[in-house]
């Protein structure tokens, strides 16, 4: 960040690409990498903070089947395929008091989720095909179902459950509408394209397959 | 503070700190950091004025504390999350150029209260906030993305909800909740029931406990 100007043209480009096609920016800030799962073809942009070190500590008390509880690394953040986390966002698992101690809970983000710039996310689960606008704050333990569009600058209160197909926005966020039929269907995507307006020229649309977008990020 | 096991080389560290304070003036920032503080890797403490951090405070990775223009005092059990910025003048980019116009106060103790940033006991500063306040009282919470202007004085057990902006020199009485489009109300429940306040503090100490378990401590970088 405060590195002396123009960081000397990074030798191998901005992103480190893993075997499964994940692209992780060299300038992202990730702690606790062992506790983070990326599904493949997922993009983590610059200045994104993933707090994998805040992982669940409960696993030892669960069933006796896993006697080797020591070497099992608990997952704290799992992100699906073709998900894009834009610059400046922070993803931090939620925590709460349970049985007299604070515990962190594993959070899950589905496939084809787009997270806009400068978001702070502590949801317990975000399903697939969700579009999160810029500067959105998602408080702990919110649950977001499939095909949801979150408008920019929203604040999703803690424990809110957003039903699938809704559009939410505001401070605090409320359901303000439905995404309607054909949302997320890009022009060349699924065969029964329904002729969505506006999505024609772009290779990807909100809530649609982000594969093209991921491919275009170098 | 210093009653902790002093077997480590902290003894000579301490003498060096005292020397600094005797010869005070604006040179390097003198830092008084309690041995029980948790400072994660990549936390940033910069500036020319003294920084004081009380016992059991937790600084998460990539938080920034700046004493470029005025001293910073973090009380016992303060938690500062990632990307938060604390310190007078840290909100504007051109802090360096403005520094010359600010007269550095020559180390008198009570001046810390006047023109520095003082966070009380168990204050929580959430992700991506900018805090330039003069004082924040015990048990207050500043939520994600909030901005608190210079010279603000915030009472005890206040909540500044997410994305709120407090203009400079705002004074908030105890138990105020700032929400929505800078609307305010008083949290009478917490005010009337001291046991609730205690419960909040207990939750906070548990939170700190788990941080000490999970977040690797890099405090030696700053104490040596």
**Cα distances (Å, whole numbers) of residue B156 to A152, A174, B150, B162:** 32, 30, 18, 18
Instruction: Pick the range with the lowest mean pLDDT from B5-9, B49-53, B150-154.
Output: B5-9
- A189 part of a folded domain: no
Strand partners for A121: A91, A138
Query: What CATH number should be reported for the domain holding residue A43?
Result: 2.160.10.10
Asked if A55 and A74 touch (Cβ cutoff 8 Å), the reply is yes
| A140 chain-B contacts, CB cut-off 8 A | none
Residue B53's nearest CA partner among B26, B29, B70, B78 is B78
Distance CA A122, CA A140 (A): 5
**Is residue B106's pLDDT more than 70?**
no
Q: Tell me whether residues B62 and A153 touch, CB distance under 8 A.
A: no
**Is residue B183's pLDDT more than 90?**
no
Q: At B69, is the pLDDT very low, low, confident or very high (cuts 50, 70, 90)?
A: confident
Chain B positions contacting chain A at CB under 8 Å are 40-42, 61-62, 81-83, 127-128, 144-145, 161-163, 180-181, 203, 206-207, 209-210, 213-216
Q: Tell me whether residues B61 and A31 touch, CB distance under 8 A.
A: yes
Give the pLDDT confidence score for residue B29 in this predicted structure: 59
Q: At A2, is the pLDDT very low, low, confident or very high (cuts 50, 70, 90)?
A: low
- B6 part of a folded domain: no
- A213 part of a folded domain: no
A78 touches chain B (CB under 8 A): no
- B14 part of a folded domain: no
Q: Tell me whether residues B181 and A171 touch, CB distance under 8 A.
A: yes
Percentage of chain A beyond pLDDT 90 is: 50
Min Cα–Cα distance to chain B from A217, Å:
25
| A119 chain-B contacts, CB cut-off 8 A | none
Nearest-Cα residue of chain B relative to residue A99:
B206
Pairing of strands A43-44, A143-144: unpaired
- A156 part of a folded domain: yes
- A195 part of a folded domain: no
**Is residue B145's pLDDT more than 80?**
yes
Give the pLDDT confidence score for residue B70 in this predicted structure: 86
- B206 part of a folded domain: yes
Give the pLDDT confidence score for residue A98 in this predicted structure: 85
- A87 part of a folded domain: yes
The pair of structure tokens assigned to A147 is 């095909």
**Could you give the number of structural domains in chain A?**
1
Q: At A3, is the pLDDT very low, low, confident or very high (cuts 50, 70, 90)?
A: low
Q: Tell me whether residues B214 and A90 touch, CB distance under 8 A.
A: no
**Is residue B104's pLDDT more than 80?**
no
Nearest CB partner across the interface for B163, out of A57, A92, A171: A171
Asked if B84 and B66 touch (Cβ cutoff 8 Å), the reply is no
CA dihedral B93, A87, B161, A77 (to 10 degrees): -140
ipTM above 0.90, yes or no: no
Query: What CATH number should be reported for the domain holding residue B192?
Result: 2.160.10.10
Task: Report which secondary-structure segment, H or E, holds B59.
Answer: strand B58-59
Mutation pick from A117, A157, A171 vs chain B, by most beta carbons of B within 10 Å, is A171
- B153 part of a folded domain: yes
- B10 part of a folded domain: no
Query: pLDDT digits over A37-55, tens only?
Result: 999 899 999 999 999 989 8
Strand partners for B169: none
Look up the domain containing B143 and give its range: 23-92+108-219
- B97 part of a folded domain: no
**Is residue B105's pLDDT more than 80?**
no
**Could you give the number of structural domains in chain B?**
1
* Mean pLDDT value of segment B190-205: 91
Look up the domain containing A104 and give its range: 15-180
- B7 part of a folded domain: no
Query: pLDDT digits over A59-115, tens only?
Result: 554 444 444 445 567 889 999 999 999 999 999 999 988 888 889 999 999 999 999
Query: pLDDT digits over B10-19, tens only?
Result: 444 444 444 4
Task: Report which secondary-structure segment, H or E, holds B203.
Answer: helix B194-214
Nearest CB partner across the interface for B206, out of A55, A101, A118: A101
Nearest CB partner across the interface for A102, out of B62, B181, B206: B206
**Cα distances (Å, whole numbers) of residue A44 to A133, A218, B126, B128, B154:** 16, 12, 22, 18, 37
């Amino acid at each position: 960040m405060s590195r002396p100007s123009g960081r000397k043209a990074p030798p191998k480009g901005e992103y480190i690409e893993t075997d499964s096609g994940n692209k992780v920016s060299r300038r992202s800030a990730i702690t606790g990498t062992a506790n983070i799962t990326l599904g493949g073809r997922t993009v983590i942009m610059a200045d994104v903070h993933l707090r994998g070190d805040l992982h669940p500590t409960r696993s030892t008390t669960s069933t006796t089947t896993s006697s080797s509880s020591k070497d099992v690394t608990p997952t704290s953040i799992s992100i699906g395929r073709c998900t894009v986390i834009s610059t400046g966002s922070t993803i931090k698992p939620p925590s709460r008091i349970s049985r007299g101690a604070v515990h962190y809970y594993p959070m899950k983000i589905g496939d084809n989720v787009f997270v806009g710039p400068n978001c702070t996310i502590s949801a317990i689960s975000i399903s697939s095909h969700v579009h999160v606008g810029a500067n959105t704050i998602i408080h702990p333990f919110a649950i977001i179902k499939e095909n949801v569009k979150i408008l920019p600058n929203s604040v999703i209160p803690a424990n809110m459950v957003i039903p699938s197909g809704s559009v939410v926005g505001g401070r605090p966020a409320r359901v303000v509408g439905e995404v309607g039929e054909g949302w997320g269907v890009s022009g060349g995507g699924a065969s029964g394209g329904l002729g969505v307006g506006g999505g024609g020229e772009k290779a990807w649309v909100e809530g649609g397959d982000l594969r093209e977008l991921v491919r275009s990020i170098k | 503070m210093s009653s902790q096991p002093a077997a480590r080389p902290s003894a000579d560290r301490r003498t060096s700190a005292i020397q600094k304070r005797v010869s005070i003036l604006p040179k390097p920032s003198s830092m008084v950091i309690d041995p029980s503080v948790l400072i994660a890797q990549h936390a940033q403490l910069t500036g020319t004025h003294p920084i004081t951090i009380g016992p059991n405070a937790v600084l998460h990775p990539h938080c920034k504390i700046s004493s470029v223009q005025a001293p910073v005092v973090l009380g016992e059990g303060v938690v500062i999350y990632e990307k938060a910025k604390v310190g007078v003048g840290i909100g504007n980019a051109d802090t360096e150029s403005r520094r010359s116009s600010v007269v550095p106060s020559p180390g008198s103790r009570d001046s810390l209260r006047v023109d520095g940033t003082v966070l009380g006991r168990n204050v929580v500063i959430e992700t991506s906030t900018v805090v330039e306040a003069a004082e924040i009282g015990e048990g207050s919470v500043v939520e994600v993305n909030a901005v608190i202007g210079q010279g603000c004085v915030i009472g005890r057990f206040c909540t500044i909800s997410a994305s709120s902006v407090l203009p400079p020199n705002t004074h908030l009485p105890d138990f105020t909740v700032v929400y929505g489009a800078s609307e305010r109300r008083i949290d009478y429940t917490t005010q009337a029931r001291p046991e609730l306040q205690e419960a909040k503090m207990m939750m906070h100490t548990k939170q700190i406990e788990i941080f000490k378990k999970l977040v690797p401590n890099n405090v030696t970088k700053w104490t040596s």
